[in-house]
Amino acid sequence: MNVKIRKGDRVQLISGKMEEVGTEGEVIKVLPEERKVVVQGINLHTKHQRQVQQSQNQRNYNPGRLTFEAPLPIANVMLVCPKCKKATRVTLHREAGKTVRVCKHCSALIDA
């Protein structure tokens, strides 16, 4: 599956929770089969863990609240161009046998 967003890219949220729309973050993980991405600091969820009675074959873990970034659809984020610093669409071009991503606004190479 052809995904134009990769791990380490800077993206901006364009759709979703109203208080988070417009925020930027770095892509931690890409899930191409599910068409989702995990972005640092965006779409935070809280999971409550209960304390369990200790036994010999059970791992130790801390009870309480765990906060983690949940995956969100790729369609809800837009890549931020490193040159023009705008959220932009991306085109793919073939150069010297390699496929490179190009910004639609300023025509700068993103994979440089």
The structure tokens listed for 93 are 């071009």
Task: Write down the CATH number for the domain with range 1-80.
Answer: 2.30.30.30
Q: Cα separation of 35 and 71, whole Å?
A: 9
Q: Do residues 37 and 12 make contact, with C-beta atoms less than 8 angstroms apart?
A: no
**Tens of pLDDT along the chain (112 residues)?**
678 999 999 999 999 888 889 999 999 999 999 999 999 999 999 999 887 766 666 666 678 888 999 999 999 999 999 999 999 999 999 888 888 999 999 999 987 6
Q: What's the longest Cα–Cα distance across the chain?
A: 61
User: Where are the domains positioned within the chain?
Assistant: 1-80, 81-112
